[in-house]
Structure formats: C-alpha cells, structure tokens
Amino acid sequence: MATIQFIEGIDETVIPNIKLTRSRDGNTGTAVFRFNNPDIIQQNMQDKGDIQGMSLIDEEGKLFTTDVNAKFVNGKPQGIECIYIIKNPSEWDRFMRFMERYAKNNNLSFIKA
C-alpha cells in the first residue's frame, strides 16, 4: 500500500493535488504536492510530533523530501506544499511506480496538460 506521511507512522488521509513536470531530455523532474487542510495541521495533531519532511512510502521503500512549507490564511494554517525533486531517470521511474500505487489506492487519475 502506498501512503504519504509527515510524521513517521501517521498516514495523511487528505489527498493532495499533484503537479508533475519533466525536463525536455527526460532526465530530471519536479513533483509539487499541495494539500488543502491536511490532517497534520489539525489541532489534535499538535502533540504527535514535528514535521521533518514528507515521506512517500510503498512496498519498495521510502522517498523523502524536506522541502515542506505551510500556507497560512489570516494567521491560520490552511495547507501544505511539498516539492520533490527527481534527479535522474531511475529516480523518475521509482517515483512513477509510487504514484501508480498511490493513485490506485486512492482512485486517482492522471490528466496530461
């Protein structure tokens, strides 16, 4: 099963909007995850621990990024944006395998721009 976690052991149930770009030569890419009102920013989560980054976890292991930023409206957290950088073709393939599993688990579809 493919899951996203901000704190180890706690799965995020809010499904993000994900924008994926790839370089012209196909060697690198960027995935931007935008979560609106995710579980991790809710009041009852404050004592669970600090966000160290975003983990993408499946049966192959874990992909990780520390590029995580909270979005605030009127001083209150409203969302989280995470950026995962894909540095080479093998990382691209690994990321896409995670995304296929995550999409299947959450009934998501891919829309090409």
- CATH assignment of the domain containing 63: 2.40.30.220
* The total number of structural domains that make up the chain: 1
CA distances from 30 to 7, 42, 50, 92 (A): 22, 27, 25, 9
Give 103's DSSP letter.
H
Average pLDDT, the chain: 93
Residue 31 lies in a domain: yes
pLDDT for res 113 = 67
What single letter denotes the amino acid at residue 79? G
Q: pLDDT per residue over 47-96, tens digit each?
A: 888 888 999 999 999 999 999 999 998 988 899 999 999 999 999 999 99
Average pLDDT over residues 25-37: 95
Domain range spanning residue 89? 3-105
Instruction: Identify whether the C-beta of residue 98 lies closer than 8 Å to the C-beta of residue 92.
Output: no
